[in-house]
Amino acid sequence: METTVSRRTQSYLRASEAAALLRVSAKTVSRWAKQGRIPHVLTLGGHRRFPREAVEQLAERLERIGEM
């Protein structure tokens, strides 16, 4: 039951919003989702939504890798 509650209170991003944070294209974000590289949920209309926290964590990791 905790999962349902946390999903309702968690903030989600559209592919284009996630792409802007990650500095990649929306197509790349969608491809990563299909490959299981980034968590997502599907809306009733079939659109992907990405948990803001997961996207921000991935952006930080990618930034650290780029600094090396």
Give residue-wise pLDDT tens across range 27-54: 999 999 999 999 999 999 999 999 999 9
Q: What is the DSSP letter of 48?
A: E
* Contact yes or no for 26/19 (Cβ under 8 A): yes
Domain that holds residue 20: 2-67
**In this predicted structure, what is the pLDDT of residue 4?**
52
For residue 59, pLDDT beyond 70: yes
pTM: 0.80
* Contact yes or no for 8/49 (Cβ under 8 A): no
Cα–Cα distance measured from residue 6 to residue 54, given in angstroms and rounded to the nearest whole number: 14
Percent of the chain's residues with pLDDT above 90:
79
Number of independent structural domains in the chain: 1
* Domain containing residue 44: CATH number: 1.10.1660.10
When pLDDT is averaged across residues 12-36 and rounded to a whole number, the result is 97
